[in-house]
Structure 1
Amino acid sequence: MLEDKRSHGLWELSAPPAPPTSVLSGSISADVVIVGAGYTGLSAALHLAKAGKTAVVLEAIEIGFGASGRNSGFVNAGLWVMPEDLIATLGPVYGNRLIQLLGEAPREVFALAEHYGMRCQADHCGTYHCAVGASGLQQLRARQEQWGRLGAKVELLSEEVTRARTGATGYKGSLFDPRAGTIQPLAYARGLAGAAIGEGATIHTGSAVTSFERGSDGWTVKTAGGSVSANWLILATDAYSAGPTSRIREEQVHLPYFHVSTAPLSHNLRKTILPNGGAGWDTKTILSGFRLDAEGRLIVGSVGALRSTGRGIHRAWAKRHIRKLFPQLGEIEFETEWYGKIGMTPDHLPRLHSYGVNAVGINGYNGRGIAPGTVFGRELARLVLGETNLEGMPLPVSELRVPMFREMREAYYEVGAQLAHLPIVPA
């Protein structure tokens, strides 16, 4: 997008075209105006339109321009936070409510993809959280026990079974989650947009919001080309928030994340990597993940930005990493590469914010946006429709707070990822 091959890489090359949209021109009215055409905003628009509400989405660039079009495409249940830690942070009411909602969230993604016939490479075959060393295996064992007490049928696999299921060498075991799977993330965002338009929603791209304010008749949201008046306002921007929504970006610490992809592998090689589908990622602090797309390309991702010195360092690391995990591939070259930003909150939990009367938003996905964004969008729609209230939402309302040393921490993450991905020279 924007003539930048490293913004969306493989996903832009392989996604079906986005549905036709237009730039906002003139003044219009709606029941709800939604800022941001990522998973949350598009899901909210879809569910509102399906219920008969007039929903207008304003997107600064293109559908899925932010993290929704750049991520790994892992449709996971839950969050990075351990289940019991989540309950300890949010309390038993919100904690258990959120765990139940996000445990079922992947099913919602795959059901929507099937119902609306989205061409988004939906693969509901589970994911593998892979243990690096004994400490990684211990972490997964604790995670499995906690999920088990909550009724989730996740399975701790041995080293041998992990290698057979993933094809990857060097892991001590893995936690298999059958609730999860993979998707082509940009194609899914475009699919949600097409479904929302089909139900009656309107999406205006190239329509960056310049201001929003509430008057006696409701909200007025302005762009350079026009305005939307509505009783409800949903701010569905996240790590790429800018302009009047920049405070949402400021409460997050950005973690850079990149991907590389190979050319399609031969049929014989494809059978040796994730032969049953799904995806894998590891327990390292600077984690990495791997998956295949529908054409058999191997996609590997990790922390880091493909710019300046980082581009060469991370590309070289990716080649070494792939040789270690999948030595059967031999020498490989990359067909595409891309990177983006993950918005991290201090406790790694998303945030529900109220911006005034009938103005809400959920953000702070911490690298888990596909399934949570989809169901949070639905829950925001339910709030607008009067099917629930703020106290009945899956998250408590919180204030916007800017974390300390945000810019310093972001620079540290980018440089630290480069240092971590430098080759280790034997003494």
Structure 2
Amino acid sequence: MQTALSERCLWLQTSTEEPFQYPSLGHHEEATVCVVGGGITGLSTALHLAEKGIKTTLLEAGDIPSGGSGRNVGLVNAGLWIPPDDIVAALGAEKGERANTVLGGAPAKVFETIERYGIQCDPTREGTLHLGHNAKGGQELERRRDQLQNRGAPVTLLTGDACEQITGTAKIKAALLDKRAGTLNPCAYTRGLARAAHNLGATLYCQSGVTGIERQGDRWRVLTHNGSVTADKVVIATNAYTEDAWNQVRKHFFIGHYYQLASEPLSGDAADAILPERQGAWDTRTVLSSIRRDKEGRLLLGSLGKGEGKPLSYLSCWADTIQNHYFPALGKVRWDYTWTGKIAFTPDHTLRLFEPAPGILAATGYNGRGVTTGTVVGEGFAHYIASGDDSLLPLPISQPKQIKARPLWRCAYESGFALYHAGQCLRVLI
């Protein structure tokens, strides 16, 4: 039995969708579309192309999943991280409301996909909770509620006893319940997408990192160390895990991180009172945090920042501080798992959908909303490739400007996260 905190991803350990050993590419192959990246976006693209009978080959540098698609919090959230009026301010009225509408319906797309393909990913459809951690946070939730309700979203602002009952803590005075949303095991969801795409005829290769893309007549040749794929179209779905110099996607985001800790399975009255309806929760803190439970009753705490490389004792101290602040009745909790994933951030907190070159599509900048955004972007890419119509995408295909000073953005964010967490451990910030 595990008795001490170790760096392992809970979702990979508890996924009821079994891993499948997809082969590596060791030859040349022809396809109509080559998808680069085996996360949620790439697999959703491959799945929806396969549904249309379009010959698709997907290349993944690691296993499925190996990036953020299997390491995120597992929140099936609607919309983007910023509220809808801010999206309109950033993108303009037409594009902003399009993003609000498409991404507002994204959780339904996720749950429809789960049901259609029988994906065993422990989904819940009880909504998510946006927690106001102080009075200013409560005012922010009122602003979001009004904006969302003006667009017909089924959201309710809970306060007083109703808030304490649904969250399990007296420290939160207001919580915005969004009934469109829910939770899942992201590793299992990603594996389920791969299984469905494979069963419909998409060809999936793992351990087949792309080393370059070159023009070959009116087609594209995608190169790996031991093989290649020639295709009419290419979809680059590497998002926050874009590292190679050939990949222009890396110029359109800066990397952030998100770490999580999971406890031992918890039971008893004190544990049962925490998120009793199993909503996933995230808060209004300057450095966002999350709280949720898994199917076996574990408590999961997470926050923006990089956990990898930090002492396990430091991470345990942080988790103990947060748990004791919100849920002191639990007493001492044993933390068993910790892991970190990457996030693709953009300065305006909105995504990028673009064509680096004719016949190549790319997406990035999900800003922590990968489960839902990746699912609908994949469907939208497939529809666009098949018909030339980009209306299913949250935004039209464009040519966004590259982000300047990306290393400075990354350093500023990570330094701020680290200082904030240190303040929490010292109980200066709670």
Which of 17-26 and 45-54 deviates more?
A: 17-26
Q: Which residue of the partner structure matches residue 423 of structure 1?
A: 426
- After superposition, the C-alpha distances for 1:268-321 in whole angstroms (9 at most, x for unaligned) are 444211111211111101121111111111111112222444643332011111
Compute the displacement of 1:265 (Å). Answer: 1.0
Q: Which residue of the partner structure matches residue 144 of structure 1?
A: 145
Distance in structure 2 (CA, Å) of the matches to 1:345 and 1:50: 32
Q: Which residue of the partner structure matches residue 253 of structure 1?
A: 254
Consecutive unaligned residues of structure 2, counting only runs of 5 or more, are none
Q: Which secondary structure state, in structure 2, belongs to the residue aligned with residue 374 of structure 1? A: helix
Distance in structure 2 (CA, Å) of the matches to 1:137 and 1:373: 30
Q: Which one-letter code corresponds to 2:45 in the other structure?
A: A
Q: Residues 272-283 of structure 1: matches in 2 within 5 Å?
A: 272-283=273-284
Q: Residues 26-175 of structure 1: matches in 2 within 5 Å?
A: 26-175=27-176
Which of 311-320 and 375-384 deviates more?
A: 311-320
Q: Which residue of the partner structure matches residue 412 of structure 2?
A: 409
Compute the displacement of 1:418 (Å). Answer: 4.0
| Contact 1:157–1:173 (CA under 8 A) maintained in structure 2 | yes
| Contact 2:63–2:206 (CA under 8 A) maintained in structure 1 | yes
Q: Which residue of the partner structure matches residue 11 of structure 2?
A: 11
Q: Residues 19-418 of structure 1: matches in 2 within 5 Å?
A: 19-244=20-245, 246-266=247-267, 268-309=269-310, 311-386=312-387, 388-389=389-390, 394-404=395-405, 405-418=408-421
Compute the displacement of 1:8 (Å). Answer: 5.2
- After superposition, the C-alpha distances for 1:152-172 in whole angstroms (9 at most, x for unaligned) are 121111132111012123011
| Contact 1:314–1:421 (CA under 8 A) maintained in structure 2 | no
**TM-score relative to the length of structure 1:** 0.94
| Contact 1:254–1:410 (CA under 8 A) maintained in structure 2 | no
- After superposition, the C-alpha distances for 1:39-75 in whole angstroms (9 at most, x for unaligned) are 1100000000010001111000111211111100000
Consecutive unaligned residues of structure 1, counting only runs of 5 or more, are none
Q: Which secondary structure state, in structure 2, belongs to the residue aligned with residue 65 of structure 1? A: coil
- After superposition, the C-alpha distances for 1:214-241 in whole angstroms (9 at most, x for unaligned) are 2214010000010001000000011111
Which of 406-415 and 71-80 deviates more?
A: 406-415
Which of 231-240 and 304-313 deviates more?
A: 304-313
Distance in structure 2 (CA, Å) of the matches to 1:178 and 1:224: 46
Distance in structure 2 (CA, Å) of the matches to 1:391 and 1:175: 28
- After superposition, the C-alpha distances for 1:370-420 in whole angstroms (9 at most, x for unaligned) are 011100110000110015048976245133513322353255245334433
Q: Which one-letter code corresponds to 2:192 in the other structure?
A: G
Compute the displacement of 1:354 (Å). Answer: 0.5
| Contact 1:40–1:376 (CA under 8 A) maintained in structure 2 | yes
| Contact 1:314–1:418 (CA under 8 A) maintained in structure 2 | no
Quickly say closer, same or farther: Cα 1:390–1:78, change in 2 above 3 A.
Answer: closer
Q: Which one-letter code corresponds to 1:282 in the other structure?
A: D
- After superposition, the C-alpha distances for 1:63-108 in whole angstroms (9 at most, x for unaligned) are 1211111100000000111101111221222111111111110011
Distance in structure 1 (CA, Å) of the matches to 2:48 and 2:8: 27
Distance in structure 2 (CA, Å) of the matches to 1:410 and 1:220: 37
Compute the displacement of 1:248 (Å). Answer: 2.2
| Contact 1:390–1:397 (CA under 8 A) maintained in structure 2 | no
Compute the displacement of 1:7 (Å). Answer: 6.5
Distance in structure 1 (CA, Å) of the matches to 2:338 and 2:53: 41
Compute the displacement of 1:355 (Å). Answer: 1.6
Compute the displacement of 1:263 (Å). Answer: 1.1
Calculate percent identity across the aligned residue pairs: 36
| Contact 1:61–1:208 (CA under 8 A) maintained in structure 2 | yes
Q: Which secondary structure state, in structure 1, belongs to the residue aligned with residue 58 of structure 2? A: strand
| Contact 1:11–1:186 (CA under 8 A) maintained in structure 2 | yes
- After superposition, the C-alpha distances for 1:330-381 in whole angstroms (9 at most, x for unaligned) are 1011111111221110100000120212111111110111011100110000
Q: Which secondary structure state, in structure 2, belongs to the residue aligned with residue 343 of structure 1? A: strand
- After superposition, the C-alpha distances for 1:244-278 in whole angstroms (9 at most, x for unaligned) are 45442343222221111111112544421111121
Q: How many residues align?
A: 422
- After superposition, the C-alpha distances for 1:11-38 in whole angstroms (9 at most, x for unaligned) are 1111132233110010000110000011
**TM-score relative to the length of structure 2:** 0.93
RMSD between aligned residues: 2.0
Distance in structure 2 (CA, Å) of the matches to 1:40 and 1:391: 14
